[in-house]
Amino acid sequence: MFAQLAGEDMEISVRELRTILNRVVTRHKDLKTDGFSMESCRTMVNLMDKDGTARLGLLEFQLLWNKIRKWLVIYREYDMDKSGSMSSYEMRLAVESAGFKLNNRLNQVLVARYAENEAIDFDNFICCLVKLEAMFRSFQQLDKEGEGVAEMNITEVGP
């Protein structure tokens, strides 16, 4: 599928990533989703794009694909009632299982941001984890001593 959509340049654009993800997710009837948005796909490309092309090469795509597959397993595991979506409680457990230890206030903020009718669907779950990973990575780069504290000035704040 990568080669088909990547074309001659062998790289995946934001739009092509959206096509791939939406094709795959529609095959999984047990997942509630309204499809991946352009914003979600842009966030994913930004997270994984190491060479600054705003496109994903095969290796970058494989890394993203492996993350999504890992997160799919977590999503299914913590969708305890098998509804195809997550409650705020299920989301909290799943986010922690994915490696993000957050306090109650941050968990509430995430649910408020990503829930629709008090349920988090698959594409919103993935988008949430992608953004968390990007934020954690940025923080770790600023936390040079590894002490859990980062100092920055206005010029270090990214877009």
Domains, in order of start, for the chain: 2-147 (1.10.238.10)
pTM, full prediction: 0.83
119: β partners: 116
Which of 129, 10, 122, 19 has its CA nearest to residue 64? Answer: 129
Span 39-92, pLDDT tens digits? 889 989 988 888 888 899 888 898 899 999 999 999 999 999 999 999 999 999
Quote the DSSP letter at residue 146.
Answer: S
Q: How far apart are CA 60 and CA 45, in angstroms?
A: 9
pLDDT tens, position by position, 91-115: 999 999 999 999 999 999 999 999 9
